[in-house]
Structure 1
Protein backbone atom coordinates (compact mmCIF):
# COMPACT_ATOMS: atom_id res chain seq x y z
CA UNK A 1 0.00 0.00 0.00
CA UNK A 2 2.74 2.46 0.96
CA UNK A 3 4.58 2.12 -2.34
CA UNK A 4 1.40 2.50 -4.38
CA UNK A 5 0.31 5.58 -2.43
CA UNK A 6 3.76 7.18 -2.69
CA UNK A 7 3.72 6.62 -6.47
CA UNK A 8 0.30 8.29 -6.66
CA UNK A 9 1.45 11.23 -4.53
CA UNK A 10 4.63 11.65 -6.57
CA UNK A 11 2.66 11.62 -9.83
CA UNK A 12 0.51 14.46 -8.50
CA UNK A 13 3.54 16.33 -7.10
CA UNK A 14 5.35 16.05 -10.44
CA UNK A 15 2.32 17.25 -12.38
CA UNK A 16 1.68 20.22 -10.08
CA UNK A 17 5.38 21.20 -10.02
CA UNK A 18 5.60 21.16 -13.79
CA UNK A 19 2.44 23.26 -14.04
CA UNK A 20 3.61 25.86 -11.54
CA UNK A 21 7.39 26.15 -11.39
CA UNK A 22 8.78 28.59 -13.95
CA UNK A 23 12.49 28.09 -13.33
CA UNK A 24 14.70 26.01 -15.60
CA UNK A 25 16.92 24.47 -12.92
CA UNK A 26 14.48 21.81 -11.62
CA UNK A 27 12.45 19.52 -13.90
CA UNK A 28 10.28 18.20 -11.07
CA UNK A 29 10.34 17.25 -7.41
CA UNK A 30 9.34 14.08 -5.61
CA UNK A 31 9.20 12.57 -2.16
CA UNK A 32 11.63 9.75 -1.45
CA UNK A 33 10.88 7.35 1.38
CA UNK A 34 13.43 5.06 2.97
CA UNK A 35 12.63 2.32 5.47
CA UNK A 36 14.10 3.15 8.88
CA UNK A 37 16.02 -0.02 9.73
CA UNK A 38 16.68 1.01 13.33
CA UNK A 39 13.27 -0.25 14.49
CA UNK A 40 12.69 -3.48 16.37
CA UNK A 41 12.01 -6.68 14.46
CA UNK A 42 8.30 -7.35 14.08
CA UNK A 43 7.30 -3.75 14.78
CA UNK A 44 5.58 -1.52 12.24
CA UNK A 45 7.80 -0.15 9.54
CA UNK A 46 8.93 3.41 9.97
CA UNK A 47 9.86 5.61 7.05
CA UNK A 48 12.15 8.57 6.63
CA UNK A 49 10.95 11.03 4.01
CA UNK A 50 12.90 13.59 2.04
CA UNK A 51 12.15 15.84 -0.90
CA UNK A 52 14.41 15.62 -3.92
CA UNK A 53 14.68 17.80 -6.99
CA UNK A 54 15.28 16.18 -10.36
CA UNK A 55 17.09 17.72 -13.32
CA UNK A 56 18.01 15.64 -16.38
CA UNK A 57 17.15 12.43 -14.46
CA UNK A 58 19.57 13.27 -11.63
CA UNK A 59 17.98 13.54 -8.17
CA UNK A 60 19.47 15.70 -5.41
CA UNK A 61 18.12 16.40 -1.94
CA UNK A 62 16.44 19.81 -1.89
CA UNK A 63 17.56 20.50 1.66
CA UNK A 64 20.29 23.11 1.59
CA UNK A 65 20.21 23.40 -2.20
CA UNK A 66 17.11 25.43 -2.97
CA UNK A 67 15.89 28.99 -2.54
CA UNK A 68 13.27 30.12 -0.05
CA UNK A 69 10.79 30.51 -2.92
CA UNK A 70 11.46 26.97 -4.14
CA UNK A 71 10.91 25.67 -0.59
CA UNK A 72 7.59 27.51 -0.31
CA UNK A 73 6.41 26.27 -3.69
CA UNK A 74 7.52 22.69 -2.92
CA UNK A 75 5.65 22.83 0.39
CA UNK A 76 2.47 24.05 -1.32
CA UNK A 77 2.70 21.49 -4.10
CA UNK A 78 3.24 18.64 -1.64
CA UNK A 79 0.34 19.74 0.58
CA UNK A 80 -1.95 20.00 -2.44
CA UNK A 81 -0.86 16.54 -3.61
CA UNK A 82 -1.43 15.02 -0.16
CA UNK A 83 -4.92 16.51 0.03
CA UNK A 84 -5.72 15.19 -3.42
CA UNK A 85 -4.33 11.71 -2.69
CA UNK A 86 -5.85 11.18 0.75
CA UNK A 87 -9.07 13.19 0.79
CA UNK A 88 -12.10 11.91 -1.02
CA UNK A 89 -13.94 14.96 -2.31
CA UNK A 90 -11.89 17.26 -0.09
CA UNK A 91 -14.31 20.10 0.58
CA UNK A 92 -11.98 22.82 1.81
CA UNK A 93 -8.50 23.92 0.90
CA UNK A 94 -6.90 26.59 3.09
CA UNK A 95 -3.65 28.35 2.22
CA UNK A 96 -2.02 30.90 4.52
CA UNK A 97 0.21 33.44 2.72
CA UNK A 98 0.98 31.06 -0.17
CA UNK A 99 2.97 33.65 -2.13
CA UNK A 100 5.56 34.31 0.58
CA UNK A 101 9.07 34.22 -0.95
CA UNK A 102 7.78 33.48 -4.46
CA UNK A 103 8.91 35.63 -7.37
CA UNK A 104 6.28 37.20 -9.63
CA UNK A 105 6.58 34.50 -12.29
CA UNK A 106 5.93 31.70 -9.77
CA UNK A 107 3.09 33.69 -8.15
CA UNK A 108 1.40 33.83 -11.54
CA UNK A 109 2.00 30.09 -12.02
CA UNK A 110 0.55 29.33 -8.58
CA UNK A 111 -2.57 31.36 -9.40
CA UNK A 112 -2.90 29.42 -12.66
CA UNK A 113 -2.43 26.06 -10.88
CA UNK A 114 -5.05 26.98 -8.28
CA UNK A 115 -7.39 27.93 -11.12
CA UNK A 116 -6.90 24.43 -12.58
CA UNK A 117 -7.70 22.90 -9.17
CA UNK A 118 -10.79 25.10 -8.85
CA UNK A 119 -11.90 24.06 -12.33
CA UNK A 120 -11.41 20.36 -11.52
CA UNK A 121 -13.46 20.71 -8.32
CA UNK A 122 -16.16 22.90 -9.87
CA UNK A 123 -18.75 20.12 -9.91
CA UNK A 124 -18.14 19.41 -6.23
CA UNK A 125 -20.89 21.40 -4.51
CA UNK A 126 -19.14 21.76 -1.15
CA UNK A 127 -15.65 22.81 -2.34
CA UNK A 128 -14.26 26.00 -0.80
CA UNK A 129 -10.89 27.66 -1.25
CA UNK A 130 -9.73 29.87 1.61
CA UNK A 131 -6.64 31.96 0.96
CA UNK A 132 -5.20 34.26 3.59
CA UNK A 133 -2.93 36.77 1.89
CA UNK A 134 -1.74 40.34 1.82
CA UNK A 135 -0.85 39.99 -1.86
CA UNK A 136 -3.58 41.90 -3.73
CA UNK A 137 -1.98 41.15 -7.09
CA UNK A 138 -2.34 37.42 -6.36
CA UNK A 139 -5.99 37.96 -5.40
CA UNK A 140 -6.46 39.93 -8.64
CA UNK A 141 -4.94 37.09 -10.65
CA UNK A 142 -7.24 34.55 -8.99
CA UNK A 143 -10.21 36.82 -9.64
CA UNK A 144 -9.27 37.02 -13.32
CA UNK A 145 -9.87 33.27 -13.60
CA UNK A 146 -13.59 34.05 -13.48
CA UNK A 147 -14.50 31.32 -11.00
CA UNK A 148 -15.86 33.74 -8.46
CA UNK A 149 -17.25 37.25 -8.52
CA UNK A 150 -16.39 38.16 -4.93
CA UNK A 151 -13.73 37.88 -2.28
CA UNK A 152 -13.78 38.75 1.43
CA UNK A 153 -11.52 41.41 2.88
CA UNK A 154 -10.65 41.53 6.58
CA UNK A 155 -9.50 44.91 7.86
CA UNK A 156 -9.54 47.07 10.97
CA UNK A 157 -12.44 49.45 11.57
CA UNK A 158 -11.88 53.23 11.51
CA UNK A 159 -10.88 53.27 15.17
CA UNK A 160 -8.46 50.39 14.65
CA UNK A 161 -10.02 48.36 17.46
CA UNK A 162 -12.07 45.71 15.70
CA UNK A 163 -11.76 43.63 12.60
CA UNK A 164 -14.39 43.99 9.93
CA UNK A 165 -15.21 41.61 7.11
CA UNK A 166 -16.49 42.98 3.84
CA UNK A 167 -17.58 41.20 0.69
CA UNK A 168 -16.02 42.88 -2.35
CA UNK A 169 -16.29 42.27 -6.07
CA UNK A 170 -13.09 41.22 -7.84
CA UNK A 171 -13.81 43.96 -10.38
CA UNK A 172 -12.76 46.60 -7.82
CA UNK A 173 -9.21 45.20 -7.84
CA UNK A 174 -8.67 45.90 -11.54
Structure 2
Protein backbone atom coordinates (compact mmCIF):
# COMPACT_ATOMS: atom_id res chain seq x y z
CA UNK A 1 0.00 0.00 0.00
CA UNK A 2 2.84 2.33 0.81
CA UNK A 3 4.49 1.54 -2.54
CA UNK A 4 1.22 2.40 -4.33
CA UNK A 5 0.98 5.75 -2.57
CA UNK A 6 4.62 6.57 -3.36
CA UNK A 7 4.20 5.66 -7.04
CA UNK A 8 0.95 7.63 -7.35
CA UNK A 9 2.69 10.69 -5.91
CA UNK A 10 5.61 10.23 -8.32
CA UNK A 11 3.29 9.81 -11.32
CA UNK A 12 1.31 12.92 -10.38
CA UNK A 13 4.49 14.97 -9.92
CA UNK A 14 5.65 13.91 -13.41
CA UNK A 15 2.19 14.60 -14.80
CA UNK A 16 2.09 18.07 -13.22
CA UNK A 17 5.48 18.89 -14.75
CA UNK A 18 4.54 17.58 -18.21
CA UNK A 19 1.14 19.31 -18.24
CA UNK A 20 2.66 22.60 -17.14
CA UNK A 21 5.23 22.64 -19.91
CA UNK A 22 2.94 21.30 -22.63
CA UNK A 23 -0.68 22.47 -22.26
CA UNK A 24 -1.22 25.91 -23.77
CA UNK A 25 -4.74 26.60 -22.51
CA UNK A 26 -5.62 28.63 -19.44
CA UNK A 27 -8.68 26.69 -18.29
CA UNK A 28 -6.79 23.81 -16.61
CA UNK A 29 -3.79 24.40 -14.35
CA UNK A 30 -2.81 20.73 -14.10
CA UNK A 31 -4.18 17.20 -14.15
CA UNK A 32 -3.72 14.27 -11.80
CA UNK A 33 -4.70 10.64 -11.41
CA UNK A 34 -6.75 9.82 -8.35
CA UNK A 35 -7.36 6.35 -6.97
CA UNK A 36 -10.65 5.79 -5.19
CA UNK A 37 -10.13 3.41 -2.31
CA UNK A 38 -6.65 4.75 -1.59
CA UNK A 39 -5.74 4.61 2.08
CA UNK A 40 -8.72 2.45 3.05
CA UNK A 41 -6.76 -0.80 3.08
CA UNK A 42 -8.35 -1.91 -0.19
CA UNK A 43 -6.15 -3.68 -2.71
CA UNK A 44 -8.23 -2.67 -5.69
CA UNK A 45 -8.55 0.86 -6.97
CA UNK A 46 -10.77 2.78 -9.35
CA UNK A 47 -8.61 5.35 -11.10
CA UNK A 48 -9.89 8.62 -12.51
CA UNK A 49 -8.25 11.60 -14.16
CA UNK A 50 -8.93 14.96 -12.57
CA UNK A 51 -8.33 18.47 -13.80
CA UNK A 52 -7.38 21.21 -11.39
CA UNK A 53 -7.99 24.95 -11.76
CA UNK A 54 -7.35 27.37 -8.90
CA UNK A 55 -7.14 24.49 -6.39
CA UNK A 56 -10.57 23.16 -7.46
CA UNK A 57 -10.46 19.53 -8.58
CA UNK A 58 -13.02 18.00 -10.95
CA UNK A 59 -13.18 14.78 -12.95
CA UNK A 60 -12.15 15.33 -16.57
CA UNK A 61 -14.71 12.85 -17.86
CA UNK A 62 -17.41 14.72 -19.72
CA UNK A 63 -15.88 18.11 -18.98
CA UNK A 64 -13.04 18.52 -21.44
CA UNK A 65 -12.46 18.70 -25.18
CA UNK A 66 -11.22 15.89 -27.39
CA UNK A 67 -7.86 17.67 -27.69
CA UNK A 68 -7.52 17.94 -23.91
CA UNK A 69 -8.34 14.23 -23.59
CA UNK A 70 -5.77 13.34 -26.25
CA UNK A 71 -3.06 15.46 -24.66
CA UNK A 72 -3.87 14.11 -21.19
CA UNK A 73 -3.66 10.56 -22.52
CA UNK A 74 -0.21 11.14 -24.06
CA UNK A 75 1.14 12.87 -20.97
CA UNK A 76 -0.24 10.19 -18.65
CA UNK A 77 1.58 7.56 -20.70
CA UNK A 78 4.80 9.58 -20.52
CA UNK A 79 4.41 10.00 -16.74
CA UNK A 80 3.74 6.27 -16.31
CA UNK A 81 6.77 5.43 -18.47
CA UNK A 82 8.96 7.73 -16.36
CA UNK A 83 7.73 6.12 -13.15
CA UNK A 84 7.69 2.45 -14.09
CA UNK A 85 10.13 1.96 -16.93
CA UNK A 86 13.00 4.33 -16.38
CA UNK A 87 15.43 2.06 -18.21
CA UNK A 88 13.11 1.23 -21.09
CA UNK A 89 14.57 2.66 -24.26
CA UNK A 90 11.60 2.70 -26.61
CA UNK A 91 8.72 5.14 -26.56
CA UNK A 92 6.00 4.91 -29.24
CA UNK A 93 3.32 7.47 -29.99
CA UNK A 94 0.57 6.75 -32.51
CA UNK A 95 -0.98 9.87 -34.07
CA UNK A 96 -0.15 12.09 -31.08
CA UNK A 97 -1.51 15.28 -32.68
CA UNK A 98 -5.05 14.00 -33.25
CA UNK A 99 -7.60 16.59 -32.01
CA UNK A 100 -4.89 19.02 -30.86
CA UNK A 101 -4.90 22.68 -31.90
CA UNK A 102 -1.80 24.31 -33.38
CA UNK A 103 -0.59 25.80 -30.08
CA UNK A 104 -0.73 22.45 -28.29
CA UNK A 105 0.88 20.66 -31.26
CA UNK A 106 3.76 23.14 -31.08
CA UNK A 107 4.04 22.68 -27.30
CA UNK A 108 3.93 18.88 -27.64
CA UNK A 109 6.71 18.93 -30.22
CA UNK A 110 8.77 21.17 -27.93
CA UNK A 111 8.17 18.84 -24.95
CA UNK A 112 9.14 15.78 -27.00
CA UNK A 113 12.33 17.51 -28.14
CA UNK A 114 13.17 18.32 -24.51
CA UNK A 115 12.51 14.68 -23.63
CA UNK A 116 14.82 13.57 -26.45
CA UNK A 117 17.55 15.89 -25.21
CA UNK A 118 17.09 14.67 -21.62
CA UNK A 119 17.38 11.05 -22.75
CA UNK A 120 20.23 11.63 -25.20
CA UNK A 121 22.73 10.07 -22.80
CA UNK A 122 20.61 6.91 -22.56
CA UNK A 123 22.22 4.61 -25.12
CA UNK A 124 19.10 2.62 -25.92
CA UNK A 125 16.54 5.45 -26.28
CA UNK A 126 14.34 5.45 -29.39
CA UNK A 127 11.27 7.55 -30.09
CA UNK A 128 8.81 6.10 -32.58
CA UNK A 129 6.13 8.47 -33.82
CA UNK A 130 3.45 7.25 -36.19
CA UNK A 131 1.79 10.26 -37.82
CA UNK A 132 0.26 11.72 -40.95
CA UNK A 133 1.05 15.22 -39.67
CA UNK A 134 4.09 16.32 -41.68
CA UNK A 135 4.05 19.77 -40.06
CA UNK A 136 4.50 18.06 -36.69
CA UNK A 137 7.47 16.12 -38.09
CA UNK A 138 8.97 19.37 -39.38
CA UNK A 139 8.53 21.00 -35.97
CA UNK A 140 10.24 18.04 -34.30
CA UNK A 141 13.10 18.32 -36.77
CA UNK A 142 13.46 22.08 -36.34
CA UNK A 143 13.46 21.99 -32.54
CA UNK A 144 15.62 18.94 -32.04
CA UNK A 145 19.22 18.52 -33.08
CA UNK A 146 18.91 14.74 -33.04
CA UNK A 147 16.09 14.21 -35.56
CA UNK A 148 17.41 14.21 -39.08
CA UNK A 149 15.30 11.68 -40.94
CA UNK A 150 12.16 9.57 -40.85
CA UNK A 151 10.67 6.61 -42.67
CA UNK A 152 7.77 7.23 -45.05
CA UNK A 153 5.50 4.28 -45.74
CA UNK A 154 3.48 4.43 -48.96
CA UNK A 155 2.11 2.10 -51.61
CA UNK A 156 3.20 1.57 -55.18
CA UNK A 157 0.87 1.07 -58.17
CA UNK A 158 0.51 -2.63 -57.29
CA UNK A 159 -0.49 -1.75 -53.69
CA UNK A 160 2.75 -3.02 -52.19
CA UNK A 161 4.25 -1.13 -49.30
CA UNK A 162 7.27 1.01 -49.96
CA UNK A 163 9.43 2.20 -47.07
CA UNK A 164 11.68 5.16 -47.83
CA UNK A 165 14.07 7.01 -45.57
CA UNK A 166 13.63 10.77 -45.94
CA UNK A 167 15.24 13.83 -44.42
CA UNK A 168 13.17 16.09 -42.21
CA UNK A 169 12.57 19.40 -43.94
TM-score by length of 1: 0.91
Q: Is the 8 A contact 1:36 1:48 kept in 2?
A: no
CA contact (8 A) 1:151 1:168 kept: yes
Match of 1:161 among 159, 162, 165: 159
Deviation of 1:104 after TM superposition, in Å, equals 0.5
Does residue 150 of the first structure (1) align with residue 149 of the second (2)? yes
- The 5-angstrom pairing of residues 5-154 of structure 1 reads 5-35=7-37, 45-144=43-142, 145-154=144-153
| In 1, Cα distance between equivalents of 2:158 and 2:83 | 43
Q: How large is the RMSD of aligned CA atoms in angstroms?
A: 1.5
* Greater shift in the superposed pair: 53-62 or 140-149: 140-149
8 A contact 1:26–1:53 mirrored in 2: yes
Q: Aligned partners of 2:158, 2:116: CA distance in 1, in Å?
A: 35
Paired residue total: 165
How far has the Cα of 1:88 moved from its partner?
A: 2.7
Unaligned runs of 5+ in 1: none
Per the TM alignment, residue 35 of structure 1 is displaced from its structure 2 partner at its CA by 1.1
Q: CA deviation at 1:36?
A: 7.8
2:51 & 2:22 partners in 1: Cα distance?
A: 14
1:34 positional shift: 1.2
Which segments of structure 1 move beyond 2 Å, counting only runs of 4 or more? none
How many Å separate the matches in 1 of 2:158 and 2:27? 46
| Gap regions ≥5 residues in structure 2 | none
| 1:6-30 deviations in Å (ceiling 9; x for gaps) | 0000000000001110000000000
Task: Describe the SS at the equivalent of 2:166.
Answer: strand
Are the structure 2 counterparts of residues 120 and 72 from structure 1 closer, same or farther at C-alpha, using a change threshold of 3 Å?
same
More moved, 100-109 vs 143-152: 143-152
- Secondary structure of the equivalent of 1:152? strand
User: For the residues of structure 2 that align with 1:100 and 1:88, how far apart are their CA atoms?
Assistant: 27
How much does 1:114 deviate? 0.4
d(CA) in 1 for partners of 2:100, 2:63: 16
